[in-house]
Each structure stands twice: as C-alpha cells, then as structure tokens.
Amino acid sequence: MITHETLKSLPAGVQAPPYDINGIKPGIVHFGVGNFFRAHEAFYVEQILKDDPNWGIIGVGLTGSDRSKKKAEEFKKQDCLFSLTETAPSGKSTVRVMGALRDYLLAPADPEAVLKHLADPGIRIVSMTITEGGYNINETTGEFDLENKAVQQDLKTPETPSTIFGYVVEGLRRRRDAGGKAFTIMSCDNLRHNGNVARKAFLGYAKARDPELAKWIEENATFPNGMVDRITPTVSADIAKKLNEASGLHDDLPLVAEDFHQWVLEDSFADGRPALEKAGVQFVGDVTDYEHVKIRMLNAGHIMLCFPAVLAGFENVDHALADPDLRRILENFLNKDVIPTLKAPPGMTLEGYRDSVISRFSNPAMADQTLRISGDGSSKIQVFWTETVRKAFEGKRDLSRIAFGMASYLEMLRGKDETGGTYEPFEPTFGDNHKTLAKADDFESALKLPAFDAWRDLETSGLNNKVVELRKIIREKGVKAALPA
C-alpha cells in the first residue's frame, strides 16, 4: 500500500510528488477515473502543481457496482496516491508516485458531496473520460438521446441526479443561482471533436431540463476540443505484480503506460486553466488537423495491422509487428494510402509521426492485445478508414490494401484463426441480422455489413469484387497468401 507515510521512504529510483500534497487545493472534478485518465490528464496536471497548487483533482465514479466500490476503497486506503511506470519501446522505465488525484468520490454513495464540489467556485474545470459511447448520442439522429431511462429519471428529479449530465447540469444550476461562474467542460475521450460532442450532450440534457438554464450554460461554459494520445493498457493482476516487483513498491493501483504522450487542446476555458503548456500540452486554435493525423495514421494503422494479425494467430501487437509481412502491410498502407492524402499540422511531419507510431506499436511493455484493438471493428473502420477510402476512390488510387484490410476484417469476424484457435469477435453494435451476415459461409453476404456504409454511395463494385477474391484466398491459403504487393 502507498500512503503519505510511505512517500517519505520510497524505493530508490521512484520519484515522489515534487510538491507538498497537503497544500493542494481542488480545482478540477473528473468523471471516469480509469487508467487512461490516470496516465494522461493526471500526469500532465501532476507536473504543474509545484508552481500552482490550485488544480488538484477530485475523481468521481458514477456506478455503484462492486468493482467501483472496490476501486473507491483502494483509492481511500492509498490516500489516492498511485504509481505510474512509463516504459519506452527500448524497455527503459521510469516510475513516479502521483498525487494529483486528491479525493475519489463514489457518487451513488454520497451524491451531495459530488454536487457540493461542482457548485464550489474553486472548481473551474470538469473533465471526463467516460468512453466513446458515454455521451448518449443516438447514432441514427446524431442527437442527445432523451429516451434513455436514466436520463428520463434525472429529468424527473433533476436535483438528485444519477447520470453525468444530471450532475454537471445541477452543479451549474447551483452556480448560476449563487451568482457564480460556469466551469469548463473538458472531454478527454477518443472522439473526433470531443468538445463538440460534449457540448451537444450536456446542452441536450440542459435544454430538456430548463431552456433558460441551458441558455446560461451555452453563454458561460466552454467545451474545448482536444486530441488525446497515450497507449494505456489494462493492468491485470499478473502485470500489477510485475510492476511492483520492478519498482519495489506495494501499490494496489499500479499503472503502466508508454513513454509517448500527446495532448493538443483548444485554448477555450470558461474560468482560467492550469499552465499545462509547461507540461507539454499544445494549445491550438483548431485541433482538426491533429485529430486527422492521429485517427488516420495511429488508429487506422492499428486495425490494418491487427485484423490480419488475429487471423494469423498473433495475440500481441508487438509480436504481430515483428512479423515482416505484417509490418510491410502496415508500412505500405501508411506510406502509399494515408500519407499522400493527409495534411500535416504545423510542427509535425507525417513521416516522423509514422516512425513514432511503428515504434510505439512495437513496445513489448504494453503487451497490447490484437483482439482488443480489433474489437468494435465495425465502428472503428467507419471512423478511422472512411476518409482514406473515399480519397482513394476520388483520386482513382490503388485500393488493394483497403480490400485486403476489409477482407481480413470479414474473415476475422468468423471467430477462427489459422492456428485452430477460436474467439468471440467483439462487435457491440451488431444486431442479430449483422451477426448472421458476419458468420455466413459465402463471400458476398458480409458486404452488406455497416462497415461498408460510409462509402456505399460510391461506385464500389471494383473494391467489393477484390474483397470477395481476397476472402477466398484467405480461406483457402491463409491470410499471408492474400497480402498485396
């Protein structure tokens, strides 16, 4: 266990918080205290607390599940301290104990404590990592889903909420009634224009609750867009044991992340912000180009590597990348399909970014799983590949690698790899009709799946014929026989 006491005698090589923990005042409330938040936002804030102690973070968990209760107990026992091991692809590691998280509240156990913090003028930012699906946007309408049962309940009893929308808007209501300022609502989820998505969600709820309050929020709160990046894997009990053995700590909440980290953020804050630029955050007027580069190179490359890797029987991303054929498909995809149709934002080169992505994927300390990366492939293809595919059609460019990626994805959905292993593909958006199409033995039915929807309006028979041809080769001769030149 790590506590204030153990901070006085940390093992050699472990960095302690470089400030007086007792002098930190809360300035941020964060919803969704998962591993990514701890390795990213908390890591950046950690570095500025020495100069400005007004930005300590209060973490909030919204679910009352046994897992959440256990996490809350562990945070309390450790005074919310935890260690972060940052590991480079070379294997070189640094370990620090972080103190930026100053309290952790389980909302169902004490909702009023959460609301008091949200109403406190000292809290100037409310941030969140609640996953891509956490914003309750209806996929068909593109609007905030007011039919959601928990949302409907919050609208009936808005002063005793249970959803993040209910809490945040009730907190803002109290601030407005007290004549105070609004806070910044800062999404750190991996979404394109995450601030705009958050704006739609919170204002969608607020308008249904009270249009005047919604107007006040619209005029006073801000929702900066941000591009967030740091590969932060799940920590199994086995990995936790190894991390503690290496650090010499007895941490119940150890964390590992790659040494790379990036946060590009719009400088739009309602009531001030920490000087995060001192910790390396890039403040820009528009994050769009940065988002494009990350999504079309890192995220798109990840699935281009992992779909065939799953079929070939590779469990870990770094092992897949060590295979020369799989490495070649990733490199050719980035070099020939993505880079020529992408614009580099200021201060970045696409070739430099490509090299860093390949080096990051090869990091053995992440032990990242090919099945995890391939999961929800249907949504990922639509978000990560669409622009590259449409640009290939527009420019009459070579579609052979896209066809190979799609064929690998469709064969992967059948749940069998080439070593005889079986697995259950994770496709959370699939209904029964999709599952039937995905498991069909023929090569054409699966062309109707939503993964193809984003370019269905174009003349795609050439691509589709190639996908069918490559699927046959994969099924008969294996995925490597289908690799494009």
Query: Site residues for ligand NAD, window 96-135 (CB under 6 A)?
Result: 129-132, 134
* Cα–Cα separations (whole angstroms), residue 18 to 8, 51, 97, 312, 395: 12, 10, 10, 47, 53
Query: How many chain residues are in contact with ligand NAD, going by CB under 6 A?
Result: 22
Q: Is 36 in the site for ligand NAD (CB under 6 A)?
A: yes
Contact 186, 224 (CB under 8 A): yes
Round to whole Å and give the CA distance between 212 and 231.
Answer: 41
Q: Any contact of residue 383 with ligand NAD (CB under 6 A)?
A: no
Is 29 a binding residue for ligand NAD by CB under 6 A? The answer is: no
Percent helix, strand and coil across the chain, each to the nearest 5: 50, 15, 35
Pairing state between β 262-266 and 226-229: antiparallel
Nearer to ligand NAD, 189 or 251 (CB): 189
Q: What is the three-class DSSP state of 59?
A: strand
DSSP assignments along 214-275, one per residue: HHHHHHH-B---EEEE-------HHHHHHHHHHH----SS-EEEES--EEEEE---BTB---
Nearer to ligand NAD, 256 or 470 (CB): 256
- What is the distance in angstroms between the CA of the first residue and the CA of the last residue of the chain? 54
Of residues 337-376, those binding ligand NAD (CB under 6 A): none
CA 408 to chain centre: 24
Nearer to ligand NAD, 35 or 78 (CB): 35
The least CB distance from residue 384 to ligand NAD, in Å, is: 13
Asked if 190 interacts with ligand NAD (CB under 6 A), we say yes
Asked if residue 53 binds ligand NAD (CB under 6 A), the reply is: no
Binding mask 241-280 for ligand NAD (x = CB under 6 A): ----------------------------------------
b (16+ CB within 10 A) / e for 137-149: beeeeeebbeebe
Q: Which of 19, 31, 404, 455 binds ligand NAD (CB under 6 A)?
A: 31
Residue 236 binds to ligand NAD (criterion: CB under 6 A): no
* One character per residue 202-231, x = contact with ligand NAD (rule: CB under 6 A): --------------------------x-xx
Cβ nearer to ligand NAD, comparing 35 with 378: 35
Minimum CB–partner distance for residue 407 and ligand NAD (Å): 27
Q: Give min distance, CB of 85 to ligand NAD, in A.
A: 15
Nearer Cβ to ligand NAD, position 224 or 484?
224
Which pairs from 174-178 meet CB under 8 Å and 24+ separation?
174/115, 174/118, 174/119, 175/118, 175/119, 175/121, 176/213, 176/216, 176/220, 178/119
Minimum distance from CB of 231 to ligand NAD (Å)?
Answer: 5
Shortest Å distance, C-beta 190 to ligand NAD? 3
Label each residue of 171-229 as H, E or C. Answer: HHHHHHHCCCCCCEEEECCCCCCHHHHHHHHHHHHHHHHCHHHHHHHHHHCECCCEEEE
Residue 33 touches ligand NAD, criterion: CB under 6 A: yes
Strands (E), 413-469: none
How far apart are CB 248 and ligand NAD at their closest, in Å? 25
* Contact characters 427-456, ligand NAD, x per CB under 6 A: ------------------------------
Is the separation of the CB atoms in 273 and 229 below 8 Å?
no
Closer of 132 and 145 to ligand NAD (Cβ): 132
Which residue's CB is nearer to ligand NAD, number 61 or number 274? 61
In terms of phi and psi (left: phi > 0; alpha: psi -120 to 50; beta: otherwise), the region of 32 is left
Considering the complex, state which of residue 256 and residue 326 has its C-beta at the smaller distance from ligand NAD: 256
Q: Which residue is nearest to ligand NAD (CB)?
A: 34
Question: Which residue, 10 or 305, is less far from ligand NAD as judged by CB?
Answer: 305
**Nearest CB to ligand NAD, comparing residues 120 and 189:** 189
Q: Which is nearer to ligand NAD, 32 or 345 (CB)?
A: 32
**Neighbouring-strand partners of residue 305:** none
Given 6, 35, 370, 388, the residue binding ligand NAD (CB under 6 A): 35
Which of 243, 479 has the CB closer to ligand NAD? 243
Residue from 346, 203, 240, 232 nearest 2 by CA: 240
Tokens of 130: 């609640």
> CB within 8 A of 472, min separation 6: which ones?
443
Applying CB under 6 A, among 87, 225, 232, 378 the residue interacting with ligand NAD is: 232
Region for residue 313 given its phi and psi (left: phi exceeds 0; alpha: psi -120 to 50; beta: otherwise):
left
User: Whose CA is closest to 255, among 416, 38, 404?
Assistant: 38
Which of residues 63, 94, 153, 464 is near ligand NAD by CB under 6 A? 63
Binding residues for ligand NAD, rule: CB under 6 A, are: 31-37, 61-63, 129-132, 134, 164, 189-190, 228, 230-232
